[in-house]
Amino acid sequence: MPMVDVNTLPESFLRDMKELLKNEYDEFLRSYENKAYRGIRLNRNKVASEDDEVILDRIFDGPKVKIPWTDNGYYLPEECNASKHPYYAAGLFYIQEPSAMSPASVLPVCKEDMVLDLCAAPGGKATQLCSRAGFVLANDISATRARSLLRNLELSGNDNFAVSAENPAHLASVYPEYFDKILVDAPCSGEGMFRKDPQLISSYRERGPEEYHPLQLEILTDAVKMLKRGGYLLYSTCTFSAVEDENTITELLKIYDDIHPVEIDEDKRQYFSPGKMGIDEAARLFPHKLKGEGHFLCLLRKDGDSAAGCSDNLEYREQRIDERLYRIPACFKTVSGIRYLRTGLLMGEEKKGRFSYSHPYALSPLSEGFETRLNLELSDDRVMRYLKGETIMLTEEDGLAGKKGECLVCVDYYPLGFGKIAGDKLKNNYPAALVWR
């Protein structure tokens, strides 16, 4: 049963694809007879590559097939409801469409880099970047989407980020030539995701490529203003339209003579198709050529040289705002007038004269030093009861006799959150907004 009946696809889209693909067009149409691929990306902050097989075996049965353009991505079986696995609550993985893993994987990021993810919600690419960068400012113009972005960054256990909900032009006015690397995964018509989300077809009929192109060019020009000399900018969309892809890049190059397309590393480029319209350095992902949905990538470099924005040993400062304590990367400059949702890790807050650690702290590497712990095996039914917000009973084998106060609850030694010991019970402090229903 096909995911999408090709007869429901817009005529203008089919006409453009026939012109774009020529003799590959029929093969492209046949790809709609297959269901969209699903992916899971392991969190390298928590899962070392040598442990991949062990972790994946606990999440789903069957072969473990790698997504070739990223070192920590695997194809997820259709029947696996991974979002209801305790390891998801522990931040061990992120569920992401395989092609959507490509932008952050091809942007050449290192631990000295200050990185901007300009259109970052819901956070898949931002969490990927945080594990490789010195610092990431993750922005989305929508405050609602930015809150979802923040939740995903906190779940991943990262502490080297800030989240803002700003217009790109406003950011550009206060962060000129500030970032070493920038990712612009631009709003688009979504042609490449028709198979994954057929509802996008109706929105495409209302707003097609020609309407998105001016917005994409505007966002890109703002991004270039924030890019340091010698820095790299990755422009990506999940559309096939040359209007939104190569045309947008071509117009950008007319505006800036110090910006140039550059080749993506061959070890990743080998899986993609080259760009069209003379921009051979760009890459296209077609569903009839790989196991993933449609995507476009173009890596750009700004002429010149500039020092990296961070050292490879990131320093932090603690800041108390009212009753809350934050741990903030020292290399990031906060600016008044910018709508930040978070500028570092929320450590905890003072309540009635007593300091309580936060849920983001529990999931971060800092909680490794927290002494009082309850470790539960994955098979222990108390894991699910904890995630459902229930009070759980303690046993003698838990080794917590005589302990009191806050306790870090873990599954297979991976933190899930906090509880409070009260005799032979653990009162549940799992956040109400995250409780499993």
The residues facing 301 across adjacent strands are 232, 260
Residue 173 sits at φ, ψ, to 5 deg, of -70, -25
The residues facing 420 across adjacent strands are 406, 427
Contacts of 368 (CB under 8 A, 6+ apart): none
User: Among candidates 163, 14, 41, which has minimal Cα distance to 97?
Assistant: 41
Please measure the distance between the N-terminal and C-terminal CA atoms of the chain and give it in whole angstroms.
Answer: 31
Q: Which helix H or strand E contains 427, and what residues bound it?
A: strand 425-428
Is 171 in a helix, a strand, or coil?
A: helix
- Whole-angstrom Cα distance, residue 167 to residue 284? 28
Residue 110 known to be catalytic? no
Residue 170 sits at φ, ψ, to 5 deg, of -65, -45
Place of tokens 């653990």: 426
Residue-by-residue DSSP string for 350-386: EETTEEEE-HHHHHSGGGGG---EEEE-TT-HHHHHH
Cβ atoms 339, 166 nearer than 8 A? yes
Question: Which of these is catalytic: 119, 130, 188, 238?
Answer: 238
- Whole-angstrom Cα distance, residue 426 to residue 386? 9
Residue 422 sits at φ, ψ, to 5 deg, of -135, 90
Give how far Cα 303 sits from Cα of 34, 97, 150, Å: 43, 33, 33
Alpha helices in 8-101 (DSSP H): 11-21, 25-30, 52-59, 86-89
Tell me the residue type at 245: D
Q: Which residues are catalytic?
A: 238
